[in-house]
Amino acid sequence: MARTDKTEAPARGRPRNHRTHGAIITAANEILSEQGFAALSFEGLAARAGVSKTSIYRRWSSKGELLLDLYMSEVSEPPEVPGRSFPEALEEYLMLTVVRLETPWWSVAIRSLVAEAQSDEALAKLVRQKVVGPRRAAVRKLMIQAFKQGELATSADIEVLLDMLFGAMWYRLLLSHAPFDRRFVSDLVDGFMDMAGAG
């Protein structure tokens, strides 16, 4: 995360130039799209953005932090659409991810994020907080409601149910043994409801 997020900021000395900031973000996104995360170096990024390395290090201390920032800056909260049945709501929610990942940038970003997190515990923690947690929370909320309304009927642990749903998604995304597409989400939700649905 950008280090200025410390909220205080009494603003001493020369203020940060937001054009510098933007140039870095833009260049990073371009490199990510064109060559992937492995090709993203602070050195090359500085050159492409026309910015000094110092200015980048001042904002992010690792490639992972920068990557997470890029990722987060693009995510927006899904609109709550009430009045749906559980399977509809679930499919709609999961579909958002699939649709997003049809854009190569997103695919590269999220896969790199997880890859990077394997050897960077700080980043891993952030990923759990910013990416994994909120999604589980959203679906957990849907599930609890569905249990209440009798749409779900299983004695399995709800956390395990979340693991099975999201796990299947990440599994296809990261291991690529089969397509990660709308059809898959549809099948996944159908299969899940077939097993866990009431009736």
Partner DNA sequence: TAATAAGCGAGACGGTACGTCATGTCTTACA
Partner DNA sequence: TGTAAGACATGACGTACCGTCTCGCTTATTA
17 makes contact, choosing from a copy of itself, DNA, none, with CB < 5 to 8 Å by partner type, with: DNA
Q: Which stretch binds a copy of itself (CB under 8 A): 14-22, 36-44, 85-93, 142-150?
A: 36-44
Q: Which stretch binds DNA (CB under 7 A): 7-15, 74-82, 128-136, 157-165?
A: 7-15
For DNA, the closer of residues 15 and 83 by Cβ is 15
Residue 127: name the closest of 68, 60, 63 by CA: 68
User: What tokens does 12 get?
Assistant: 């001493």
Q: Which of 78, 133, 134, 150 binds a copy of itself (CB under 8 A)?
A: 133
- Tell me, residue by residue from 70 to 109, as one string, x for binding to a copy of itself by CB under 8 A and - for no binding: ----------------------------------------
CB 85, CB 152: distance < 8 Å: no
Residue 112: name the closest of 54, 29, 56 by CA: 29
Is residue 154 part of the contact set for a copy of itself (CB under 8 A)?
A: yes
Is residue 10 part of the contact set for DNA (CB under 7 A)?
A: yes
CA distance 145 to 50: 51
Q: Is the dihedral of CA 33, 34, 35, 39 positive or negative?
A: negative
Please provide the DSSP assignment of 23-41 as one string.
Answer: HHHHHHHHHHHHH-GGG--
The binding site for DNA (CB under 7 A) comprises 10-17, 20-21, 39, 41-44, 50-55, 57-58, 62-63
